[in-house]
Amino acid sequence: MARYLHLTNCLLADNSELKEDDLFIDTVLGIIVEKPEGGFDSENIEVIDLNGNIVSPGFIDIQINGCFGLDFSTTFSGEKQRLEFVQEYNDSMEKLLKYGVTSICPTVTSSFSDVYNDVLHILGLKTRSPTKADSLGVHIEGPFISPQKKGCHPPETLTAMTDGYQSLFKRYGRDFEKYAAIVTAAPEVEGCLEVISEITKSNQVVFSIGHTMSDFETGLKAIHNGATMMTHLYNAMPAYTARNVGVVGLISATRDELPSEKIPYYGLVADGIHVHPSAIKAAYDANPNKAILVTDAMSLIGLEDGVYKRGNQSVEKKGHLLHLEGTETIAGSATYLLDCVHNLIKWTEIPIQDALATITNNPARSLKISKRKGFLNPGCDADFNVLTKTGKLKEVYKLGLKAHDFD
């Protein structure tokens, strides 16, 4: 097998641009490389004609609660269950790769300490695999959130940061910072505003505003203290009105209120269920460079319709719709990331390269990993997808090796 790949006759979708260019891959190092001035040894390079198709960076999902029957927020009664969880986790990460998703932030929702103690060191182990989606670190969503905006988070798990940063150690474990990529919390929760700067001081963990009753001014304080993201915009936060814009108003703050570089990244669940298409369009139009599509997928994605147990709750799946049984409370999503991209294109009428940026470039920038993930630049991991001009997935490559071919 040749060490290098030369992708030609293709359109590179990167940085919201779609340009005809070639791409060079080192399959041994698994990275994108520059073409050397003297060229490659012809015996050591494979030229692949992509027939005018699109090459996109691999897709990144920064909020996914589980998939294919596996709930990331779980706990074990013994070593046998732990080993079974690890096996199911690895299997689910392999299956995600079939959908072009090459990296995720496995998301753990509001739980007691036993869950975090059991799963953070498994889900948060940052990987670099040629055969499955990588973990970029855990998205810890809760339990320091508003009881009024808890969504489907178990109310008995919710708490405040009454002991400051020690509250996080007590709930998540002393070493949680090694495994976390994002912490979602409500700024108005007791003690939260004061610890944001501590959470983000290492530049390794992102603080995201979510499941909150905060007003605009409290949201501004959170950003000035180090918050750089908002979790599933519109959902589990006060409604935007003309006079009380709430934290939703942060994405369109005026220059006097917030410099443009301080506007937070924001997740959008573009499944047609969580948020009305008109609201998706309004948010995207307000600040496209900070928009990140997320699935907020639950363990039921990929499973048949029906009623499933999740802890003490029952969740009903009907197609892409997940509700707590017998209620109107949304319990996550069952829509794949590329389907959300197609929805965004349909609702906003943007070109495909702009839509793809919301699941590649923007999430990579938000996590400060753009030098190694989410772009088609030399030095980045060679995780990329080949799509038709209409956005149909044709091939998936991981670290420069073809993982899936759908022709």
Q: Residue 326, annotated ligand binder? A: no
Residue that is written with structure tokens 């969580």 in the block: 274
Other beta carbons within 10 Å of 326: 9
Cα(343)–Cα(177) distance, integer angstroms: 35
3-state SS, residue 80? helix
Residue 152 annotated in ligand binding: yes
Closest CA to 105 of 69, 75, 149, 141: 141
Cα distance between residue 275 and residue 286, in whole Å: 16
82-88 long-range contacts (CB < 8 A, ≥24 apart) are 82/118, 85/119, 85/122, 86/122
Q: Is 211 annotated as a binding residue?
A: yes
Q: Is 236 annotated as a binding residue?
A: yes
CA gap 368, 136 in Å, rounded: 11
Q: Say whether 296 is catalytic.
A: yes
Query: Residue holding tokens 């998703």?
Result: 101
How big is the CA angle at 350 (ends 294 and 360), to the nearest 5 degrees? 40
Q: What's the gap between Cα 192 and its chain centre?
A: 23
The answer to the question of whether 301 is labelled as a binding residue is no
Q: Which one is catalytic: 61, 134, 296, 381?
A: 296
Would you state the structure tokens that stand for residue 179, as one six-digit string? 């495994």
Q: What is the dihedral of CA 368, 371, 375, 378, to 10 degrees?
A: 180
Known binding residue 331? Answer is yes
d(CA 362, CA 358): 5
Beta-sheet strands, E only, within 145-290: 180-185, 206-209, 229-230, 265-268
Could you identify the residue written with the tokens 């040749």?
Answer: 2
Name, in order, each residue with C-beta under 8 angstroms of 129's C-beta and a sequence gap of 6 or more.
93, 398, 399
332 is in an annotated binding site: yes
State how far the Cα of 35 lies from the Cα of 233, in Å rounded to an integer. 41
How far apart, in whole angstroms, are the C-alpha atoms of residue 6 and residue 21?
11
Three-state DSSP class for residue 304: coil
CB atoms within 10 A of CB 391: 16
**Dist CA 175 CA 106 (whole Å):** 17
Place of tokens 């995780």: 383
Instruction: Point out the annotated binding site for Zn(2+).
Output: 141, 211, 232
**Residues marked as catalytic:** 296
Instruction: Point out the annotated binding site.
Output: 141, 152, 211, 232, 235-236, 243, 274, 330-332
Instruction: Point out the annotated binding site for substrate.
Output: 152, 235-236, 243, 274, 330-332
